[in-house]
């Protein structure tokens, strides 16, 4: 089950988000401000981060800034979910490297769609750069080829009957 970190200071919104995600088959982790958000992300890197912008202690932009500098968390898909709906805010968020930017009030369908899309993309990217045999597809091919070889040797030491 995919872990999703929710960083949001408003209690109601946070709780509702957690419920929505849970009902959709994800495992939500919550943080009530940016500082705690970063801590939890470092501790146990989630599969996706949903982050508000206006928060005490550390705001959303600050969170992204720190997350993206840490190797463990830099590749985690990051979605801003915020009431800051001006174009400048949007541009700032995207320039910092967010994967998406959703404004409040948010549509549940849109949110879930975006999460799904980002998770899929993240999966593909992870597979493409898998550590054991960095050349993922090549590895598979060779393995497959080896398997083909093995099949050939199946008939070694066995009586071969040919039917035409």
Partner 1 sequence: MEQNLPDELYLRYRTVIETAVDGIITIDSSGVIESVNPAACRLFGYTREELEGRTVNMLMPSPHRDAHDSYIQRYLDTGEKRIIGIGREVKGMRKDGTLFPFWLSVAQIQLDGNFGFTGFIHDISDLKQAEEEIRQLNVDLEKKVNERTEQLAEVVNQLLSSNKLLEREIRERRAAEEALNKNRDELLRALDRERELSELKSRFVALASHEFRTPLSTILSSASLVKRYAELGNTEKQDFHLEKIRMGVNHLTGILNDFLNLTKLEEGLVEANPEPFNFTDFAAEIIDEISGLAKPGQRILWSDRTDGQEVRLDRRILKNVMYNLISNALKYSDRDVQCRSGFSSGWLEVEVRDHGIGIPETDQKYLFDRFFRAKNALNIQGTGLGLNIVRRYLDLLGGDINFTSREGEGTTFTLRLPIAKA
Residues that bind partner 1 (CB under 8 A): 9-13, 16-17, 19-20, 23, 32, 54, 56, 83-86, 103-108
Query: Whose Cβ is closer to partner 1: residue 53's or residue 76's?
Result: 53
- Torsions phi, psi of 3, nearest 5? -95, 130
Cis peptide before 111 (omega within 30 of 0): no
Nearest distance, CB of residue 14 and partner 1, angstroms: 10
Q: Distances in Å between the alpha carbon of 147 and those of 46, 139, 141, 142?
A: 36, 12, 10, 8
Nearest distance, CB of residue 17 and partner 1, angstroms: 7
Query: Whose Cβ is closer to partner 1: residue 16's or residue 122's?
Result: 16
Nearest distance, CB of residue 79 and partner 1, angstroms: 14
Nearest distance, CB of residue 60 and partner 1, angstroms: 12
Terminal-residue alpha carbon distance, the chain: 52
Report the SS3 class of residue 35. Answer: helix
Query: Whose Cβ is closer to partner 1: residue 73's or residue 82's?
Result: 82
């Amino acid at each position: 089950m995919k872990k999703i970190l929710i960083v949001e200071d408003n209690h109601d919104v946070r709780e509702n988000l957690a419920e929505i995600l849970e009902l959709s088959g994800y495992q939500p982790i919550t943080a009530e401000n940016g500082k705690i958000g970063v801590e939890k992300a470092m501790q146990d890197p989630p599969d996706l981060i949903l982050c508000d912008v206006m928060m005490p202690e550390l705001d959303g932009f600050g969170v992204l800034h720190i997350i993206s500098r840490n190797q463990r968390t830099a590749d985690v898909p990051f979605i801003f979910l915020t009431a800051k709906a001006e174009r400048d805010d949007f541009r700032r968020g995207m320039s910092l490297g967010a994967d998406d930017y959703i404004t409040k009030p948010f549509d549940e369908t849109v949110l879930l769609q975006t999460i799904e899309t980002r998770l899929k993309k993240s999966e593909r990217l992870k597979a493409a750069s898998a550590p054991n045999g960095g050349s993922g597809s090549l590895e598979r091919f060779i393995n497959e080829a080896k398997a083909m070889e093995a099949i050939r040797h199946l008939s070694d030491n066995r009586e071969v009957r040919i039917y035409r």
